[in-house]
Amino acid sequence: MTMHMADVLELLAYHKDLPAEMADEAFARLMDGTMTPAQAGSFLMGLKTKGETARELAAAVRAALRHARPVHGLSGPRIDTCGTGGDGTCSFNCSTATALVLAGLGHDVVKHGNRSVSSTCGSADALEALGLSLTTEPDAVAGELAARHFAFLFAPGYHPAFKHIMPVRREIGCRTLFNLLGPLLNPARPTHQLLGVGIPGFAPRMAKVLALTGVSRACVVHGAGGFDELTPFGVNSVVWVRDGWLREDVIDPQALGLAQHKPEDVAVASKDAAVAVLRELLEGGGPQAMRDMLVLNVAACLHLLDAAPDMAAAVEQARAAVAAGVGRALLHA
């Protein structure tokens, strides 16, 4: 039976969730450019006003990945560290620093990211300033992992179908589900993921999407202070994902032996400042608040990767790795 967009939009207008097959077909049309701009705008705004379900987000992920440039030849555990952004905190590049420390420890990291949209300095901006390439082709990812345990997948180079969507997003002008999708669309298909959300209450939904789209282990976090990363400012809300099962939890950095800090202690004023402090952190230095925040996020990843039996042991491992400056290996590769 042929699906009519009028039926999709009618359901959304009455705040009805889309059946699985209808969601799959609608997102397939959005990604291949067969929706008209009017239909696409109405579709995205209908989902936004209704509230996107995990099943609808998973349909969007599957459709986007079908149109992404595929990455082949990868095996074994590989992790991504990424937040949805948009938390308005102007903090240092914690997820990027976390990724580079993990790679320095010998864990394979497939970092999927972009230039800054709302932050002081995006992951792509930071890595470019550090001298790392943003033009890793799909057939070179496996080689990069073998050589240095790190590969960066610059999102615009891997998602050509987004050319159909960007004009509509620009005309709409407000946030849509595409502001959530970035961390979910890594074409290297990480087996493990640390994913941050800046919007309270979104962590369980994003965790369910990861479970529905094949990530075996994940930690989805909403940090104290409204950050899309784990922070040393108070108790953090998290959802652990393991083989399709979800468990809500909290991570209290003070209970793990980390000092209490304030959000302004991790802020950076400019791109140059962000890059400078990133270099310091990778060399084992930097302000204490930023080091503690980095330790906390590295620890969550080590626990996810089964490198530590619990968060307390993971924090000790992460603290030693950050102090030793293991991330500098990527700077001089």
pLDDT digits (tens, 9 = 90+) for 10-38: 999 999 999 999 999 999 999 999 999 99
One-letter amino acid of 26: A
Residues 226-243 have pLDDT tens digits of 999 999 999 999 999 999
**Distance, CA of 287 to CA of 292 (rounded, Å):** 9
Using the 8-state DSSP alphabet, how is residue 202 labeled? -
| 192 touches 217 (CB < 8 A) | yes
Average pLDDT over residues 300-316: 97
> What percentage of the chain has pLDDT greater than the value 70?
97
| pLDDT of residue 67 exceeding 60 | yes
* The dihedral formed by the CA atoms of 25, 29, 31 and 36, expressed in degrees to the nearest 10: -150
Compute the radius of gyration of the chain from its Cα atoms.
19
| 80 touches 189 (CB < 8 A) | no
| 63 touches 113 (CB < 8 A) | no
| pLDDT of residue 267 exceeding 60 | yes
Helix residue ranges per DSSP H, the chain: 5-13, 20-32, 37-50, 54-67, 94-104, 123-129, 141-148, 155-158, 166-172, 178-181, 203-212, 271-282, 288-304, 311-324, 328-331
What per-residue confidence (pLDDT) applies to 186? 97
Q: Which residues contact 290 (CB under 8 A, 6 or more apart)?
A: 92, 94, 265, 266, 277, 281
| pLDDT of residue 298 exceeding 60 | yes
Average pLDDT over residues 204-229: 96
Of 7, 140, 12, 155, the closest CA to residue 73 belongs to 140
* Most distant CA atoms of the chain, gap in Å: 62
User: How many Cβ atoms from other residues are within 10 Å of residue 45's Cβ?
Assistant: 16
pTM: 0.95
| pLDDT of residue 179 exceeding 60 | yes
| pLDDT of residue 89 exceeding 70 | no
- Give the lowest-confidence range in 34-43, 115-124, 237-246, 259-268: 115-124
Average pLDDT over residues 98-114: 96
Residues 274-297 have pLDDT tens digits of 999 999 999 999 999 999 999 999
Token reading at 309: 């039996």
Residues 35-52 have pLDDT tens digits of 999 999 999 999 999 999
Tally: H helices and E strands in the chain: 15, 7
> What percentage of the chain has pLDDT greater than the value 90?
83
